Structure 1
Amino acid sequence: MSSGPHSRLPVQFGRYLLTKRLGAGGMAEAFLAQVDGPSGFKKQCVVKVMLPHLAGEERFVAMFQKEARLAALLTHGNVVQIYELGDVDGTHFIAMEHVDGLSLSALARRAWGSGRSVPTEVTCCAVADAALGLAAAHALRDADGLLLGVVHRDISPDNLMMNKDGVTKVLDFGVAKLTGSDGEPSTATGELKGKIPFLAPEYILGKGMDGRSDLYSLGVTFYWFVTGKRPFTASGDLPLMEAIVKEAPRPPSELNPQVPPQIEEMILRLLEKDPARRPQTGFEVYDKLLPVLASRREVVVPFLEAMLLLSPAGGADASAGASGPIAAAPRTPGFVPSTPHTEGLKSEWRRRLAASVAPTEQGAQDSAALTASRGSLDAPAAEPAAGDAEDVLFTSTGTTSPSTRSAVRAANPPRTKLFVAAGGLAAAVAAAIVAAVVVSRDEVPANVSATIHAGGEVKPIDEPIGQPIGQPIG
């Protein structure tokens, strides 16, 4: 595979015919593939092939194999299924389900890049599905019935795929951790795995993590979909981690007045600093969003179909926050405020608007944007301005000014120094955070899953595949 098979596709790889290169990450390449059987049997799948130069690295091989073994234990409609783990002439691979659709990151890019909003129902269905898939992973037990304590550790819009039926699936357990009975810690002392903007506060502080940490990451995804920005922003990794640990998120309705109250309540609960104050399982999140799922056929599927017909924003559906200089912006370029499309959510939305007094300048701008964008999902889209296609999901968006902070944050201003209890993993993480100050931002883009060592060295670990699985490169 080192000779670049994508330049001479299709090519036979074991029993799989690789037909199209879907993308590459720091640990593997992904290919659309076909496997043939008797009597004309054919099945499409995705084959994830480990990069040749990592084949001799025991740690990466173990991580790659663990992803397959763990995901293979999960048979759930909201988790991408694993078919086979193997190797061809020493090249390790995983064969998995092909999700014909878009990653949530690509879905938002296409919508906002074409001047359309993402209906609130679409976001709610996606979050509910992901929560159900995570609940299954978190509840996974071994053959003896002992809880494995699975934590995904990399939940973000890149790792959530929506298929043509409007069903969202969780993928990529490459950096997952087992915290249960026989789980072996896969993270060395002082390492952080995952994308920093999505890391839960307890993980940054080295206090350990469980399934509720994944729910926090899901909350960051939820927040971004309805507001166009992440709940915490800063000019670098260290201040960003400090903000995640110390600051209170701005209520989503301050950024988008059309966010229904019950949705805002769920988002803020997911973003609680204390895991005990968050929903305790994905089932709880799913149950709260259950009434919205009736809109899947009415709103979600037609919206996805419309997005699939659009050309990818910027010419390609590259992973959100593709590596490059970190730019400061108030929100994702091209963002159009999410709005409810069904009566159940609209009634709550109207109640919110009726109760609103003295709207902020930002709120007025959002309302104007909403008015401009309201109408059919297939309404002609305005030509996006130059640069609107760039998705800055993982880029810094500056520091919120005191005048726009929530009452909670104004009453409890963030401290200027990040306090981490000394001793054990927490001390190592603290050392890593301090050492990370000297690391150039250009060397480690915020969108890259990174391993931050206590000595200050930062190494990429299986960053998101450049193209979402199931999507051809533009």
Structure 2
Amino acid sequence: MGDMVLGGRYELVEKLGQGGMGTVHRGVDRRLRRTVAVKLLSSVLAHDPQSRARFQREAHAAAALNHPAVATIHDVGEEPHPDGPRPYLVMEYVQGATLAEVLHDGPLSVVDAVNAACAVLDALRHSHECGIVHRDIKPSNIMLTGPDTVKVLDFGIAKAFTETATRITGSGAAIGTPAYLSPEQINGSEIDHRADLYAMGCLLHELLTGQPPFRGESSFAIMHQHLFAAPEPVSRLRPRIPPAVEAVILRALGKDPKERYADAGQMRAALVDALTQASLPTLQATAPAPTAPAPTAPAPPVTRTGGRTALRDRFRPSLRPSADSALALLGCLLALLCARGRLVDTAHFGWVAVAAGVAGLVTLPWSTRLACVVSWGPVAEAVAVNSELRRAYAGWHHSYVAIAALLALAAACCLVSAARGQGHGRGAGALVAFWFSATASIWYFLDDLHKLFVFYLLLTLVAVAAVSWEAIGLVRHRAGQADTGRPVDEA
């Protein structure tokens, strides 16, 4: 799969999953040097030119959505194939677990389930205002990216498939997951945004109980229940569900769209009110009673002996101007500038670079070696990100592999040289060389999914090793002075 490149641009690295609408792969955008998710659509779209045109039109409409809870669509295209062009969709690569995967560990708490539903409703409100109905809301299409943050996937795809099925079969057959289909989708009636609200009722039912409201031995049995059966109340499956939350679910599962909420915003407001009503008595019952303050022991007297002089004497060697201290200070300033310049377009790098620059300035009086360890790492990473030594550019050509391997060897030698450096704070130059050679090698050998993870891990391990090294040196220094009879406080 790693040899397959779509449109001469998107390298497919790993297959992530497969469903009725096609297969999903993790890929690399060679032009923009970023990890993407690529969905190769089912062959049902490949043999009808009008269906492919309809799919591209729907995908372009969904690409106009701009919301934090909506997975961004980057590109849409067709890949030539002997059996007919294969439509594909290039989306934002989202890290996290789908709600379907989360449900393997059991139902969510009421608070977590309502918070996740509210986040999805925020995304649906935005898409509905833009005239786009999702039509396939289900746990596997929602990624949980944080405690209260989600990404909704596959906007625009379900509609393209539904219209394709209507054109090819002439039946208007329902395309989607039977457990979450609204009655109007099953009947082939006209669909509007309230079909998504019905699916939200099914989703919230499953988040709270671990199962959808309707189950059966076949898809036809499930769809028949959607049309004619009343959903099983969540309180029967999980007795402690607040009645107000259950009322929201029952209204969303109305057979007639007019029985449901008018829009996603109204349903979200009802959920928030229901959660507030359910939590208010609990908060009042669990409020701690006021207690008298416990008596505090008198603070020990502060003694001012020769500690300040000893501290000044301990820091004096590092504060003297030297090439190593200048190199460490330069690394701290560059790390802060790299964070401000956003040279690495990820959510965490800016904060890591700021933390590294500040940590370098704080540790500089104690050890220039430690200051170089924490400050020059993000600087070298920023340079490596913008270099031309890339597998996506150069491929696995033997000469480039040799260059990257020799850089990795040079990084190991530099790290050994820095560790063996004698004297207080020596080896700063070797550490700078280590970071530039190590990050260049990392950014060639690893794909985008693992590069930053390995860099952050390496930065943490080297920093911990440097702190341990300096601490051991300080302990040995104090022990040596104690053996010679000199006061330890004057070390």
Q: What are the residue-to-residue correspondences of 1:338-417 with 2, within 5 Å?
A: 343-344=279-280, 346=282
How far apart in 2 are the matches of 1:348 and 1:11?
A: 60
* Contact 2:143–2:153 (CA under 8 A) maintained in structure 1: yes
Give the corresponding residue for 2:95: 100
Aligned pairs for 1:45-60 within 5 A: 45-50=36-41, 55-58=46-49, 60=51
Return the alpha-carbon distance in structure 1 between the equivalents of residues 109 and 93 of structure 2: 25
Task: State the match for 2:157 in structure 1.
Answer: 174
* Contact persistence 2:36–2:93 (CA under 8 A): yes
Q: Quote the Cα distance in structure 2 between the aligned partners of 1:233 and 1:163.
A: 28
Q: Is the 8 A contact 1:212 1:279 kept in 2?
A: yes
Distance 1:255 1:135 in 2: 30
Report whether the alignment pairs 1:223 with 2:176.
no
Structure-1 separation of matches of 2:252 and 2:117: 11
Closer/same/farther in 2, CA of residues 346 and 81 from structure 1, 3 Å limit: farther
The answer to whether the 8 Å contact 1:63/1:175 transfers is: no
1:49-97 CA-to-partner distances (Å, cap 9, x unmatched) read 2457863333553454244223112112221110111234554322111
Shift of 1:259: 0.8
Paired position in structure 2 for 1:126: 116
2:52 aligned with 1:61, yes or no?
yes
Residue of structure 2 equivalent to 1:248? 230
CA shift, 1:32, in A, is 1.1
Deviations 1:388-411 (A, max 9, x none): xxxxxxxxxxxxxxxxxxxxxxxx
Q: CA deviation at 1:104?
A: 0.8
Residues 136 and 127 of structure 1, relative CA distance in 2, 3 Å threshold = same
Other-structure match for 1:25:
19
2:177 to 164, 172, 195: 195
- 8 A contact 2:165–2:171 mirrored in 1: no
Q: Distance in 1 between matches of 2:160 and 2:44?
A: 24
The residue that corresponds to 1:336 in the other structure is none
CA distance in 2, matches of 1:94, 1:238: 30
What's the counterpart of residue 326 of structure 1?
none
The 2-side partners of 1:133 and 1:213 are apart by 15
Following the alignment from structure 1 to structure 2, what is the Cα–Cα distance between the partners of residues 347 and 53?
A: 54
- C-alpha contact (below 8 Å) 2:54/2:160 kept by paired residues: no
Letter in 2 for 1:134: L
RMSD: 3.5
List per-residue Cα deviations over 1:361-387 (Å, max 9, x = no partner). xxxxxxxxxxxxxxxxxxxxxxxxxxx
Q: CA deviation at 1:234?
A: 3.3
Q: The residue matched to 2:158 in structure 1 has which SS? A: coil
Structure 1 unaligned regions, length at least 5? 141-147, 295-339, 351-469
Q: Which runs of 5+ in 2 are unaligned?
A: 287-448, 450-491
Partner of 2:9: 15
Q: Which amino acid aligns with 1:46?
A: A
Displacement of 1:25 in angstroms is 2.9
Higher helix share: 2
Alignment of 1:63-212 (within 5 A): 64-89=55-80, 91-109=86-104, 111-112=105-106, 117-140=107-130, 148=131, 150-164=132-146, 166-172=148-154, 173-176=156-159, 188-212=170-194
1:260 and 2:250 equivalent? no
Whether the 8 Å contact between 1:10 and 1:20 is mirrored in structure 2 is: no
Counterpart amino acid of 1:176?
Answer: K
The match for 1:364 is: none
Q: Hey, what does 2:487 align to over in structure 1? A: none
- Contact 1:123/1:222, CA 8 A, preserved across alignment: yes
In the alignment, the residues of structure 2 paired with residue 17 and residue 251 of structure 1 have an alpha-carbon distance, to the nearest angstrom, of: 47
Change (3 A) 1:291 1:178: farther
